[in-house]
Copies of this chain bind each other. A is one copy, B any other.
Amino acid sequence: MSNIRLGILGATGVVGSEMMNIIQEKDIKFKSIKLLASEKSAGQVVRYNNEDIIIEEVTKKSFNDIDILLVAVSSSISKKFTPIAVEKGVTVIDNSSAYRLDDNVPLVVPEVNSEDIDNHSGIISNPNCSTIIAVTALNKLNEYAEIERMIVSTYQAVSGAGAKGLEELKDQVNKLENNEEIKSEAFQYQIAYNLIPHIGPFNEVGYSEEEMKLQNEGRKIFHKPNLKVNCTCVRVPVYRSHSESITIETKKDLTVEKAREILSKSPGVKLVDDPSNSKYPMPLDTSNQDLIFVGRVRKDISSEDNKSLTLWCCGDQIRKGAATNAVQILEKVIEKKAYRN
Candidates B189, B197, B278; contact of A188 at CB < 8 Å: B278
State in angstroms the CA–CA spacing of A194 and B314 once bound together: 11
CB neighbours of A280 from chain B (8 A): 197-198
The answer to whether A197 touches B312 (Cβ under 8 A) is yes
B-contacting residues, A289-311, CB 8 Å: 295-303, 310
Interface membership of A9, Cβ < 8 A: no
Which one of A26-34, A110-118, A201-209 is at the B interface?
A: A201-209
Cβ of A228 within 8 Å of any chain B Cβ, yes or no, is yes
Interface membership of A41, Cβ < 8 A: no
In the complex, the answer to whether B195 meets A238 with C-beta atoms within 8 Å is yes
Check A45 for interface membership: any CB of B closer than 8 A.
no
**A282 contact set on B, CB distance < 8 A:** 189, 194-197
Question: Does B230 contact A197, Cβ atoms closer than 8 Å?
Answer: no
**Contact across chains for B230 and A303 when beta carbons are under 8 A apart:** yes
A236 on the B face (CB < 8 A)? yes
A312: B residues at CB distance < 8 A: 197, 232, 234
With contacts A174-B177, A275-B202 taken as known, whether A245 is within 8 angstroms of B232 at the C-beta atoms is yes
Question: Does any Cβ of B come within 8 Å of A324's Cβ?
Answer: no
In this complex, what residue of B is CB-closest to A202? B275
- Enumerate A140-155 residues with CB–CB distance to B below 8 Å: 149-151, 153, 155
Does chain B have a CB within 8 A of A247? Answer: yes
Instruction: Compute how far the CA of A236 lies from the CA of B194 in the bound complex, rounded to whole angstroms.
Output: 9
Chain B residues with CB under 8 Å of A256's CB are: 205-206
Give min CB distance, A45 to chain B, whole Å. 29
A28 → B minimal CB distance (Å): 32
A215 within 8 A of B: yes
A 101-139 binary contact with B (CB < 8 Å = 1; else 0): 000000000000000000000000000000000000000
Q: How many copies does the complex hold?
A: 2
Q: Let me know if A165 is at the binding interface, CB within 8 A.
A: no
Complex: A280 Cα to B207 Cα, angstroms: 12
Are A151 and B232 within 8 A (Cβ)? no
Q: State in angstroms the CA–CA spacing of A298 and B204 once bound together.
A: 10
CB closest residue in chain B, given A196: B282
Most chain B beta-carbon neighbours within 10 Å: one of A197, A229, A280: A197
- Please indicate the chain B residues that have their CB under 8 angstroms from the CB of A10 in the complex: none
**Can you give 23 contacting A-B residue pairs, CB < 8 Å?**
A151-B300, A155-B236, A173-B173, A173-B177, A190-B284, A193-B238, A193-B239, A194-B282, A194-B283, A195-B243, A195-B282, A198-B278, A198-B280, A205-B301, A206-B256, A206-B297, A206-B299, A229-B302, A230-B247, A230-B303, A232-B312, A236-B236, A236-B237
Residues of chain A touching chain B, judged by Cβ–Cβ distance below 8 Å, are: 149-151, 153, 155, 173-174, 177, 188-190, 193-198, 201-202, 205-208, 215, 228-230, 232, 234, 236-239, 243, 245, 247, 256, 275-276, 278, 280-284, 295-303, 310, 312, 314
